[in-house]
Amino acid sequence: MNYRDCLKDVLPYVPGRSEEEIKREYGLDKVVKIASNENPYGPTPAIGKFIGKINYEIYPDNYVTNLRENLAKELDVSQDFLLFGNGSVEIIQMISRVLLDEGDNIITELPSFSSYFSEAKIQNANIKTIRYNNEYNFNLEDMIPLIDKKTKIIYITNPNNPLGTIIESDKLEKFIKKVPSNILIVIDEAYFEFVRDEKYKSAIGLVKDYSNVCVLRTFSKAYGLAALRIGYVVADKKVITELEKVRVPFNTSSISQICAGLALKDKEFMRNSVEKIHDTIDYMYRKLDDMNIEYIKTQANFIMINLNKKSDIGAQELIKRGYIVRGGFPLMDNWVRVSISTYEDMEGFIYALKEVIK
């Protein structure tokens, strides 16, 4: 078969290795997966009471009516400013399909979420990037000279994945004002619930003022619904209309819609989970400081750690001890991203990390 040439450089998404696989390979009784930024406290218990009441023989609500209504009220946006996807990854795919032709380009940060890159390559588009500074932050002004007539999308991950750092709200809006209105600015807020920095503010309020700004959100992280794959985008209704043209019908299941709605209502459970993760992050800071290990202070539910050795070697040594982490990020050969699990799990991780560092 003659497959598209642009796919030659596209790598399939590689998830972290499963716990059962690691147990079998290394003869371990317990394995802690801290590679995929999942919420160790899961979703609200209310979900368990409803999971058996689904009409499985009926197609899901294509308009996601109940969740759409409740979310629109919470975010103070019009219902036609919302579109739902099978995780925010599917929405990135939709955005690429409606905007990118061969020879067009996107601009984003390096490192940042891999789907921006893969979806652009699939559309035969080019990729331009800016790099982080000495504080592991990004200066958005560096993007301005990269903009040309072929620029269609600018991706900004805020907080950044994998660095965990943020773009301050005033700097973000200052940048948006300089970008031509025909370029879509996608602000990915997958981790916004975890942010503690007071200089951060969600960009959803900017969607009303700038028709070329859209915001990605997900229920996978703070709400603990990673397995159900549901996310959404907030954008001007003209943008939503175009995205609807390429959206697969019934792309979010009835179960995911109902569970996302229940999770949205139980704010107390979500906030308690986030608070426990914050406490564990602070514990990690103290331990890493004691060990004199470099790390990046995070505004997300993960932390980047410098092992001072190739990340694939360090990650493999941690796996042997039952801790699955993520390495291999561009420009960060010696770093691993460690998702924040329970306090007990991270105590064990610190013990394993001391052995690996030795």
Q: What is the CATH number of the domain that holds 244?
A: 3.40.640.10
Last residue of a domain, one of 207, 233, 265: 265
String of DSSP letters for 299-345: SSSEEEEE-SS-HHHHHHHHHHTTEE-B--BTTBTTEEEEE---HHH
CA dist list (Å): 357 to 169, 311, 324: 37, 12, 16
Digit-coded pLDDT (tens) for 79-123: 999 999 999 999 999 999 999 999 999 999 999 999 999 999 999
Q: Tell me the pLDDT band of 14, cut-offs 50, 70 and 90.
A: low
How many Å apart are CA 212 and CA 201, to the nearest integer?
18
Q: Cβ neighbours of residue 313 under 8 Å, at least 6 residues apart?
A: none
Instruction: Check whether residue 12 and residue 75 sit in a common domain.
Output: no
Same domain as 227, residue 111 = yes
Distance (Å) of CA 54 to CA 51, 114, 185:
7, 34, 37
Domains held by the chain: number: 2
Strand, helix or coil for residue 62: coil
pLDDT given at position 1: 44
Shared-domain flag, residues 110 and 221:
yes
Q: Considering the chain, what percentage of its residues have pLDDT values greater than 90? A: 81
How far from the centroid of its chain's Cα atoms is residue 155's Cα? 12
Between 168 and 50, residue with greater pLDDT = 168
Please check whether residues 222 and 119 belong to one and the same domain: yes
| pLDDT value, residue 7 | 58
Alpha carbons 316 and 122: distance in angstroms, whole number: 31
Residue type, 167: I
Reported as a pLDDT band with limits 50, 70 and 90, residue 10 is low
Q: By three-state DSSP, how is residue 157 classified?
A: strand
Q: How many CB atoms lie within 10 A of CB 295?
A: 18
- Whether omega before 159 lies within 30 degrees of 0, making that bond cis, reads yes
Average pLDDT value for residue range 226-251 = 94
51, 132: one domain:
yes
80 and 35 inside one domain: no
Q: What is d(CA 123, CA 101) in angstroms, rounded to the nearest whole number?
A: 6
Q: Which amino acid is at 59?
A: Y
Q: Which helix (H) or strand (E) holds 116?
A: helix 114-122
Specify burial of residue 58 (Cβ count, 10 A radius: 0-12, 13-18, 19+). Answer: exposed
Q: Report which residue type is found at 171.
A: K
56 and 198 housed in the same domain: yes
pLDDT of 303-317, one tens digit each? 999 999 898 999 999
In the DSSP assignment, the letter for residue 184 is E
User: Could you tell me the two tokens for 28?
Assistant: 């371990």
Shared domain for 261 and 284, answered yes or no, is no
pLDDT 10s digits, 34-77: 888 888 888 887 776 766 666 666 788 899 999 999 999 999 99
Q: What does residue 215 show for φ and ψ, rounded to 5 degrees?
A: -125, 130
Query: Mapping DSSP to helix (H, G, I), strand (E, B) and coil, where does residue 153 land?
Result: strand
The answer to whether residues 256 and 154 belong to one domain is yes
Digit-coded pLDDT (tens) for 120-149: 999 999 999 999 999 999 999 999 999 999
Assess whether 116 and 160 both reside in one domain: yes
Q: Are residues 52 and 14 in the same domain?
A: no
**Domain span at residue 231?**
46-265
Assign residue 329 the CATH number of its domain. Answer: 3.90.1150.10
Which of 215, 230, 265 corresponds to the end of one domain? 265
| Boundary-marking domain end, from 230, 246, 265 | 265
- Give the CB-side neighbour count of residue 203, counting CA atoms within 13 A: 34
Do 212 and 290 fall into the same domain?
Answer: no
- Whole-number percent of the chain with pLDDT over 70: 94
